[in-house]
Structure 1
């Protein structure tokens, strides 16, 4: 005899988030809820990261939901300590049902997780929709859920892995549950949509193709890029517009175009359908440089494309080889120039440091960032992270530069002067953070680099705000450049001396810039009556202001 089961799918809180990020809808939870509901079971979505719950409150809400199964989603490239903590507290409170963990990073460390944390029943490797439906079916029938696809569990001191099953038809998946969208909008976050999964490229630093290649059952296998049909995507966007009135949407695809002519034709058809639908939604995509074609991007822009993230990664040819980017610096230059010429906002995926960087490499990266107009602290304070499941992680480990604190991997640097330069970059970025926050507020930023058009803002005021931002970036960039020059010209300088001098300069700089920010805020207040941050909800509620922006 079977019975319906009830599950809670949880994005746990975390003390580690990106300092310029906004709450982004967790589609993983939405898809899992939808898969379980379609299978005739119950599901509740609990987003502790969105609402900044404490671990205690998260546990209380899970227990209050009165569920049979708990699924914890890992949104980071490591296992955050909050997850085993939540699992332990649930067990201490008497919860006896399966506690499952899933996500990219734990899919590559599943054995370690289940062996180190007995309070966790299993790790689900790979995509979760088919796995969770199969688990629910087995639990409802009183069977052993651990025979379901993708499940890894501990037994007799060893880890047992079930084969991973890839979702082959993305159009056939039920649309994700949108339980969290009102809360996302209330927190000025980003509603998300997935139009494809995977990536055709084989960059050594990226776990995405390997995550979708887990079905193959051998290390570093890469899965195919799969997409949804344009008709299916447009209908989901229309539904979001009709239900919530959204005017901003994040496409969470790892690579929007798929690297093929078929992928580009899909993009063209999607653009045509969106232009015809006239939904009034601005959206952001991520792609590789070789897929940037001006005519296609202009068409997408007419359909609502507003912001583009391109994985540039480095301004050093040797680093591109290390990363297996299979693109040149000229490819990057051309793509960036095209996006900016169209007037689209742009964000570079960049890794200024890697474990084998030299000071000459850092200087070349600074030169490149300046050349492409992206000489900003959040670009030069970046490093290649050795994500689990990637060839780069293996390379970093072989070179003796891998550190692993509680399964959160990080890289060291072969050159000690580069390590000092990295510390300096972090100091500069920390000094920049409050000013970047002020600029984001003045710009009514969606993300720091994707901005809203502030209603009724004059060109003159826009120039004043932009000039403040440009001055902050330029002055901090010059400090970074001078730091590298000091390390090159004075190789015997002590790290303490270098960093103490830099901190003193940053302290003086901060005081001067506080006055500049105050003056710009006074200007905006005089011209616009107030310094107002416009949220998406504000613009939804005031469509005329949005139309005039």
Structure 2
């Protein structure tokens, strides 16, 4: 008997030409771009570590990290574990945007081991637990929120044939067919064991980054983000910290035992403008410097959190080399629509980007180029912000927003009649056929080349936008854009993660 944790392979590419997650990243990015991308699944690794600390044998099949190029390959890996370890009693799956892959795997697990219990976790599952449990009989449980304690207690109950009714943080079907859920647990992060590092040698061998987490949750409520939506379910406990000392202890261990010289801090938000978070970041730098750790790192931050150049210079001395910043768009109106007011109407993020670059810290941009009502002027302004960072990856020119089921954006698009398909990912269409044409042509131009050149892709992008402007002038449409500022900062010597 065994307990399994499974992450689907997260394939990319069109049907008939699918490729593994790792192959897709390496095709789109250069080694200097993807080396800081963390691909370990720290959630599954942390659940495995906690369960093992309670004496439960847990195996992990991570099709994404293992480079599987089909769901059939992941299914064979699951069967291999079962042959070695015995018939599984509990299988836990995770999912963000791989629900179709997951469903295929779940059905095969159910058909092969009809007495196994199957659970699903992560933000997508939490936000959509009612729909999942009513629509997929093969899934027995949805883990609500954090899984370390809940999944371990569920495993103990299943392995010992005990009722699961009182296991915290579990949604299930009641005897009458209704969906019921027990309250979630709120975990003290410093009491958890460090994540199991089964996958790290593979991650490093493939040229990606090892990772740690230092917080959970987020203070903010961007409409497109599942983390914020799940955080509302936890109320005042939605955002929590690990102690700085515990985090640096783990980084020191990874540096010593795995030879890590770069670590990605994988928090949804490591640095915000809140004084407490700024002070904590300073203490983190202090601790790294005090121990003399020779390690580089990156983290995620909001635009309004990177104004203290003295703090960033201190973090730079401690090893900060990259910051991922969710710039999103050049339209202030659209930022407001996303509930992401990290600048005022008269501020320009490019000025802050330039200042951070001048410190020797790369700003890796998160941008949303296309959304249903995008206009030409916004595309130009978002491109301007993208270029201010020095980021030069043409695939960013056709990024489009994803309406994840259960998020506020998904509900908004549904209410406005913008969704053409609502499951498992909210699919939408453009309000303007010209926008659809620009998106399709830019995507075809970039993906149709073995090694797309950013400058050539930018020229093609701007030509298509100009054609749209000529065919359909804005004529005073109410999209207020951020002011134009200098973007003359030198491009960094390396780019970063998407």
Same fold (TM over 0.5): yes
Deviation per residue, 1:278-334 (Å, 9 max, x gap) = 222211111101111211111111111111100111111111111111122735223
Q: How does 1:117-136 map to 2 (within 5 A)?
A: 117-136=136-155
Among candidates 134, 150, 154, match of residue 173 of structure 2: 154
Cα distance per residue 1:135-155 (max 9 Å; x no partner): 133234432225422222234
1:89-488 equivalent positions in 2, closer than 5 A:
89-155=108-174, 158-216=177-235, 224-292=238-306, 293-328=308-343, 330=347, 332-370=349-387, 373-374=390-391, 376-404=393-421, 406-431=423-448, 434-435=450-451, 472-488=453-469
Shift of 1:428: 3.0
1:360-405 CA distance string (max 9 Å, x none): 3223333444455457523321122112232222211122111336
Matched, 1:71 2:52: no
1:371–1:29: structure 2 CA closer, same or farther, 3 Å change rule?
closer
Report if the CA contact (8 A) 1:308-1:339 is conserved: no
Structure 1 position 354, deviation (Å):
1.6
Distance in structure 2 (CA, Å) of the matches to 1:55 and 1:149? 30
Note if 1:81 corresponds to 2:81.
Answer: no
For 2:402 and 2:159, locate their aligned partners in 1 and report how far apart those are by CA, in whole Å.
Answer: 41
Taking the aligned partners of 1:92 and 1:135, their CA distance within structure 2 comes to 22
Of residues 401-410 and 201-210 in structure 1, the stretch that sits farther from structure 2 once superposed is: 401-410
SS of the residue aligned with 2:93? strand
Q: Deviations over 1:238-258 (max 9, x none)?
A: 111121111121111011024
Instruction: Return the structure number with greater relative CO, CA threshold 8 A, min gap 6.
Output: 2
Q: Report if aligned partners of 1:428, 1:480 keep a CA contact under 8 Å in 2.
A: no
**Displacement after TM superposition at 1:97 (Å):** 1.9
Cα distance in 2 for partners of 1:92, 1:364 equals: 52
> Using the alignment, how far apart are the partners of 1:331 and 1:362 within structure 2?
16
Conservation of the 8 A alpha-carbon contact between 1:35 and 1:132: no
Aligned to 1:7: 3
Query: Could you tell me the TM-score, scaled by structure 1's length?
Result: 0.76
Question: Once structures 1 and 2 are overlaid, which stretch shifts more, 61-70 or 305-314?
Answer: 61-70
- Residue matched to 1:528: none
Residues of 1 paired with 2:112 and 2:178: CA distance? 26
Answer yes or no: is the 8 Å Cα contact 1:164–1:215 preserved in 2: no
Cα displacement (A) at 1:486:
1.0
CA separation of 1:99 and 1:317: change in aligned 2, threshold 3 A: same
C-alpha spacing 1:157/1:378, structure 2 compared with 1 (3 Å): farther
The Cα RMSD (Å) is 2.4
The answer to which structure has the higher helix fraction is: 1
Equivalenced residue count is 445
Q: Is the 8 A contact 1:376 1:477 kept in 2?
A: no
How far apart in 2 are the matches of 1:166 and 1:480?
A: 48
Unpaired segments ≥5 residues, structure 1: 217-221, 437-471, 493-549
Q: So what's the TM-score if we normalise by structure 2?
A: 0.83
| Alpha-carbon separation, structure 2, partners of 1:338 and 1:82 | 43
Taking a change above 3 Å as real, the CA distance of residues 162 and 231 of structure 1, as seen in their structure-2 partners, is: same
Range with greater deviation from structure 2 (282-291 or 395-404) = 395-404
CA distance 1:42–1:410, change in 2 (3 Å): same
SS in 1 for 2:39: coil
